[in-house]
Structure 1
Amino acid sequence: MSKPTVYVVIYSTWGHIKTLADSVVKGLREGGVNAELYQVAETLPQEVLDKMHAVKFDIPVLSPKDLVKADAFIFGIPTRYGVPAAQVKAFWDATGGLWAEGALVGKYAGVFTSTASQHGGQETTAMTFLPHLVHHGIIFVPLGYQSKVLFDNSEVVGGSPWGAGTVANGDGSRQPTGKELEIAETQGKTFAGTILKVHKP
């Protein structure tokens, strides 16, 4: 029986989302599905990225039209003022043809995020991302409380029932912790379990 394929599609400026994505991919593969990592196209000029000290990743750039090739997706989205980064919005703005054809109806998707602070909008970023899925008829799969780390109040821990997350600090100095990576891996595993329940080879 063929395995379903999940695309993990990210935008990462300084690497926090990329680090979480690696754990999500690990969890997906351990959960029994094929997982492929992609990034959305950059919209900022290189001179601006240089001033921001942005990190460049050797990850294939996904064309919006290629979303049809996957059975499901998990999107890694950094927060900008509590909503998804503009690069993610630009990616979805280019999916009008897919929307007109109903090409993504019935596929599944999840989300994970990164914010500068504990209260920087991890949940609102997920919430404001949902209209993209709704208009395409994509089914949202939340993490829920399948990771018990979400109950850990002994230290700062990113993530929520909406999906995994990390807190990066305003200067990006804080890197994803072991607990946050554990949440991300759990999200991958549980998402894979959901996809396997509904996948028809």
Structure 2
Amino acid sequence: MTKVLVLYYSSYGHIEQMADAVAEGARAGGAEVDIRRVAETAPSEIVTAAHFKTDTAHAVIEGPDALAGYDAIIVGAPTRYGRMPSQMAAFWDTTGGVWMKGALIGKVGGAFTSTSAQHGGQETTLFSIITNLLHHGMTIVGLDYGFKAQMGVDKVVGGSPYGATTIAGDGSRQPGEEELEGARYQGKRIAETAAKLKG
């Protein structure tokens, strides 16, 4: 069975919800799925003052070597000024040994994100994640236009051909059904692609 890792960082729970939806989609695509998060690196006083969400059902990833055990890795993180946050970057900065072994070459990767505004850097954040995956030799699968809900202009909704997205507003807006469905769609496509490449 194809093994998929959904690896995420979430400050306020939006990306955590998207991670669960991505995992649902990957399972629907026939994969065995693990959801892991990266460690919080912000000082505890910042976490408390900013009211970060600290309760979660998902364990912290064991370490970078765990990545090699998966056929696909789908990475989710919110934006920080148009790029992935330091918490996620800090994890990928520890993967040099995995890179040296070529342990992820030929595996499938994807990315998903959230921003507060429609034009808050979704695509540049996705690319900041995808760049790491490409350096590891991974084949990238985005949110293709087979998912039609990302194409409308009738309402505020996330979505990008580079990966599933959601818009958080001031933090009170939660991922909408179209955005969660986009995450499921991308997760399923990645699982199916990984199964084909695994052959």
Normalising by structure 1, report the TM-score.
Answer: 0.94
3-state SS in 2 of match to 1:83? coil
In structure 1, the partner of 2:109 is: 109
* 2:77 matched residue in structure 1: 77
Residue 198 (structure 2) aligns with: 199
Say how many residue pairs are matched. 197
Cα distance, 1:185 vs structure 2 = 1.0
Partner of residue 66, structure 2: 66
Match of 2:166 in 1: 166
**% of aligned pairs identical?**
48
Match of 2:32 among 25, 34, 40: 34
**Moved segments of 4+, more than 4 Å:** none
What whole-Å deviation, never above 9, does each CA across 1:65-96 have from its counterpart, x for those lacking one? 21011111100111011111111110010011
Task: List runs of 5+ in structure 1 lacking aligned partners.
Answer: none
Mapping of 1:7-26 within 5 angstroms?
7-26=5-24
* Structure 2, unpaired ranges of 5+: none
CA contact (8 A) 1:8 1:75 kept: yes
Q: What is the deviation of 1:33?
A: 0.7
Distance 1:105 1:194 in 2: 15
Please tell me the residue identity of whatever aligns with 2:139.
I
Aligned partner of 2:125 in structure 1 is: 125
Give the whole-Å Cα distance in 2 for the aligned partners of 1:88 and 1:141.
20
DSSP-derived class of the 1:157 partner: coil
Matched residue, 1:44: 42
| Most deviating of 143-152 and 115-124 | 143-152
AA paired with 2:38?
A: V
CA distance in 1, matches of 2:186, 2:103: 25
Secondary structure (helix, strand or coil) at the match of 1:80 reads: coil
Per the normalisation by structure 2, the TM-score is: 0.95
